[in-house]
């Protein structure tokens, strides 16, 4: 079980969604990403894809969305930057709002300078809770 973490600036009130950086998703028949919250992700995947799905198809239709932040305009969004077999990331690393490519995932932001106040550092703090 992963620990639930809080992500916040050491200086200002800036914070990111707590958790462990993102969530598992499954793509339904319409191509929509369905959030699979822990610890019931497996039952949701089975419900969406059906019980007879092959391992390959299941791998292709599931993924991990990371909480991302644009370092330029502070827009927060979810995206999957995992590299596919083609060598391309599943989602382009680009802000949906200002189109900046200066986008970091929550995990990458840990230890970096806060994009809001530019003084503090983003810290990863354990809440002490397990999911």
* Binding stretches for Zn ion (CB under 5 A): 9, 11-12, 14, 70, 72-73, 75, 95, 97-98, 100, 114, 116-117, 120
What is the smallest separation between the CB atom of 123 and Zn ion, expressed in angstroms?
A: 10
**In whole angstroms, what is the distance from residue 77 CA to residue 96 CA?**
8
Q: Where are the alpha helices (DSSP H) in 6-109?
A: 41-49, 55-61, 106-109
What is the smallest separation between the CB atom of 17 and Zn ion, expressed in angstroms?
A: 16
What is the smallest separation between the CB atom of 99 and Zn ion, expressed in angstroms?
A: 7
Nearer to Zn ion, 35 or 98 (CB): 98
β-strand partners of 124: 7
β-strand partners of 62: 26
Nearer to Zn ion, 48 or 114 (CB): 114
Nearer to Zn ion, 47 or 75 (CB): 75
What is residue 114's DSSP assignment? P
What is the smallest separation between the CB atom of 78 and Zn ion, expressed in angstroms?
A: 14
**In whole angstroms, what is the distance from residue 112 CA to residue 108 CA?**
8
What is the smallest separation between the CB atom of 90 and Zn ion, expressed in angstroms?
A: 19
Q: Are 112 and 7 in contact (CB under 8 A)?
A: no
Nearer to Zn ion, 8 or 61 (CB): 8
Nearer to Zn ion, 32 or 97 (CB): 97
What is residue 109's DSSP assignment? H
* Greatest Cα-to-Cα distance within the chain, rounded to the nearest angstrom: 52
């Amino acid at each position: 079980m992963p620990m639930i973490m809080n992500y916040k600036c050491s200086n200002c009130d800036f914070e990111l969604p707590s958790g462990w950086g993102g969530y598992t998703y499954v793509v339904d028949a319409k191509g929509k990403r369905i959030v699979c919250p822990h610890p019931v992700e497996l039952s949701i995947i089975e419900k969406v894809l059906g019980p007879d799905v092959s391992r390959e198809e299941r791998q292709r239709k599931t993924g991990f969305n990371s909480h991302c932040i644009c370092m330029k305009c502070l827009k927060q969004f979810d995206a999957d930057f995992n590299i596919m077999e083609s060598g391309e990331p599943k989602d382009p690393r680009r802000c949906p709002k200002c189109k900046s490519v200066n986008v970091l995932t929550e995990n990458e932001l840990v230890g970096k300078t806060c994009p809001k106040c530019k003084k503090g550092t983003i810290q990863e703090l354990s809440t002490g809770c397990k999911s």
